[in-house]
Amino acid sequence: MKRVFLILVLILAFAAALPASAQSELRFAVVQVQLWPEYDQPSMLVIYTLQLPEDQSLPVDVSLRIPASVGDPSAVAVFDDTGLVTRPYTRNVEGDWAVISLQADLPVIQIEYYDPALSQSDSPRSYNYQWVGDYGVDEFILSVQQPVGALDFEVSGPDLGDPAIQADGLTYYTANLGIMEAGEPLDLSLSYTKNSISLSAESFSQQSAPTTTEPGGGSGLPVWVWVLMGVGGAFLLVGVVYFVRASRSAKRPASAYRTKKQRSSSGGSRSTGKQVFCHQCGEPAESGDKFCRECGTKLRV
């Protein structure tokens, strides 16, 4: 009986160890951790982008620990051809950590959350981040965004090199830390001062806002724009004047001819009752005329 009981205990222990074994065997090709303080909320935006190896069979269960104090993540998704596509997940709290579990059916996963541990009420502002090493990683990339308006910005922990301004106009500290084994932790802390509660994302809306022209010749538009508008208006005015004059010139002969016809129908005639016209210009002659009143040609009476 004792032997049977011992066998059952061993079987249960082996079954309980299977998920942990599968978890430790799963490895990521690339993990990128991005820390964006005061980006679009007055807290720390943490972004995990995890890429599975090309030979990893799918779907596969993935579990990642995040601080329990942050509550639910703001995004749990995978990447497809259209971009991020959300996936269902579970959240189980284990002490100071919450385990976020999902089934990944595509090789690139993204998990995001906002951490209120960074507060705008602190002076100076500071934040501590820890990667607890849930998985082994072949290429671990860490990136920290410097908030707009931050002064005395300092990053302690792994060497992230010199800051660089990227395409969005913001400053980043980024480093490829290479291989990280499962269970190998990483700690980073940052601090800075800031004299406002503005968010970095607000700078994009300000840059894209349309400029307005102030009344009375304000500096809403550059001078060269006004010069081009003036030159274009002058050319347009000249074109309109030329068109009007050309139209009048083209219509003048027909108008004169109609006037002559009207005169011929209403004007007087010679005493003989026969209307005489100038053979040169067609102008009707009055009674007793020997020369055309219009062009001076001698009439053929």
| DSSP secondary structure string for all residues of 182-244 | TT--EEEEEEEE-S----HHHHHHHHHSPP-PPTTT-SSS-HHHHHHHHHHHHHHHHHHHHHH
> Tell me: the pLDDT tens digits for 83-117?
999 999 999 999 999 999 999 999 999 999 999 99
Q: Grade residue 287 by pLDDT with cuts at 50, 70 and 90.
A: confident
pLDDT band at 294 (very low <50, low <70, confident <90, very high): confident
The side-by-side arrangement of strands in the sheet containing 97-104 is 60-67, 97-104, 89-94
Among 59-63, 69-73, 243-247, where is mean pLDDT lowest? 243-247
Would you list the domain boundaries of the chain?
A: 25-208
Please give the pLDDT value at position 247. Answer: 54
**203-232: per-residue pLDDT in tens?**
876 665 554 444 444 444 555 455 556 656
**In the chain, pLDDT over 70 holds for what percent of residues?**
64
Q: What is the pLDDT, as a whole number, of residue 208?
A: 55
Query: Residue 257: pLDDT above 80?
Result: no
Long-range contacts of 19-22 (CB under 8 A, 24+ apart): 22/61
Share of residues in the chain with pLDDT > 90 (%) = 58
The answer, yes or no, to whether residue 259 has pLDDT greater than 90, is: no
Note the pLDDT tens digit of each residue in 12-34.
Answer: 444 444 444 444 589 999 999 99
Is 3.40.50.720 the CATH number for 25-208? no
pTM: 0.63
